[in-house]
């Protein structure tokens, strides 16, 4: 695979963690093609969660792909992975080459517009083990990604995650920081986000 010199990354100075951001992990032509392919070929699902006894639709569509057995529980729901496909394999190869880390599963989110988002959370599920590396690829509309230190709430990082970008969160980041993709009243188009993960323990 051609690893182009156009992919320098920016180190984010985080207290108690580390993150790297590549704005150009994929060329615009690659990102356009991958967005269209995933939009059409992934079996996007509407998840529901129960909050205070009330069933609620999660404000985005999701899919879970990975190696057989890489089961993952999020939003209280266990997910057996769908297999890798060609587009996902291509994206994973690039993510592994740039980040230097290996992944065995990916969570996909489709944000249909500004009314879709993701609340404050950390990717700290037990099946990810200690100090997990999470690698996040963004395709489609630019959305704001916010990070906030759990204890030192004045420590925040805001990033505009652009089409074809890669963000990794590493080290103790998931222990000390939470992150979110806020809903927005601004008109925004569709966005696909892929977070590559390494499941190290079977889901419960
Ligand atoms: O959409 C994003 O940029 C973040 C997604 C995320 O945090 C997650 O899937 O856990
Ligand atoms: Mn997350």
Q: Length of the chain in residues, anyone?
A: 204
- The answer to whether the CB of 197 is under 6 A from ligand 1 is no
Q: What is the pLDDT of residues 92-151, one digit of tens each?
A: 999 999 999 999 999 999 999 999 999 999 999 899 999 999 999 999 999 999 999 999
DSSP 164: T
Q: What is the pLDDT of residues 140-155, one digit of tens each?
A: 999 999 999 999 999 9
Q: Give the position of tokens 């599920």.
A: 125
**Which residue among 195, 197, 199 has the greatest number of ligand 1 atoms within 8 angstroms of its CB, and so is best to mutate?**
195
Residue 62 has which token pair?
A: 């999701």
- For the chain, helix, strand, coil in percent to 5 are 15, 40, 45
- Which of 189, 195, 193 shows the shortest CA–CA distance to 161? 193
CA distance 56 to 146: 23
What are the structural domains of the chain?
Answer: 10-197 (2.60.120.590)
- The answer to whether the CB of 141 is under 6 A from ligand 1 is no
Determine the distance separating the centroid of ligand 2 and the alpha carbon of 125, expressed in angstroms.
10
Question: Of the ligands numbered here, which is closest to the C-alpha atom of 107?
Answer: 1
Per-residue confidence (pLDDT) for residue 74, from 0 to 100: 65
Determine the distance separating the centroid of ligand 1 and the alpha carbon of 108, expressed in angstroms.
8
Which atom in ligand 1 lies closest to the alpha carbon of residue 136? 3
b/e map 166-187, b = 16+ CB within 10 Å = bbbbbeebbebbbbebebeeee
Q: What pTM was computed for the model? A: 0.94
Are 179 and 134 contacting, i.e. CB atoms less than 8 angstroms apart?
no
Which region, left, alpha or beta, applies to residue 188 given φ > 0 means left and ψ of -120 to 50 means alpha? Answer: beta
3-state secondary structure of 22: strand
């Amino acid at each position: 695979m051609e690893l182009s010199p156009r992919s320098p990354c920016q180190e984010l100075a985080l207290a108690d963690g580390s993150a790297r951001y590549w704005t150009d992990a994929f060329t615009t032509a690659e990102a356009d093609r991958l967005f269209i392919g995933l939009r059409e070929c992934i079996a996007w699902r509407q998840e529901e969660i129960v909050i205070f006894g009330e069933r609620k639709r999660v404000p985005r569509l999701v899919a879970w792909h990975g190696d057989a057995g890489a089961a993952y529980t999020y939003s209280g729901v266990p997910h057996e992975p769908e297999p890798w496909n060609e587009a996902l394999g291509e994206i994973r190869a690039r993510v592994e080459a740039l980040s230097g880390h290996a992944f065995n599963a990916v969570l996909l989110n489709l944000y249909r517009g500004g009314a879709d988002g993701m609340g404050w959370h950390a990717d700290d599920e037990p099946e990810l083990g200690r100090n997990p590396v999470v690698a996040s690829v963004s395709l489609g509309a630019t959305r704001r990604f916010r990070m906030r230190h759990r204890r030192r709430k004045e420590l925040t990082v805001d990033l505009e995650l652009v089409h074809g970008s890669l963000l990794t969160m590493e080290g103790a980041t998931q222990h000390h920081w939470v992150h979110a993709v806020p809903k927005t009243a601004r008109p925004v188009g569709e966005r696909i986000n892929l977070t590559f993960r390494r499941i190290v323990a079977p889901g419960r």
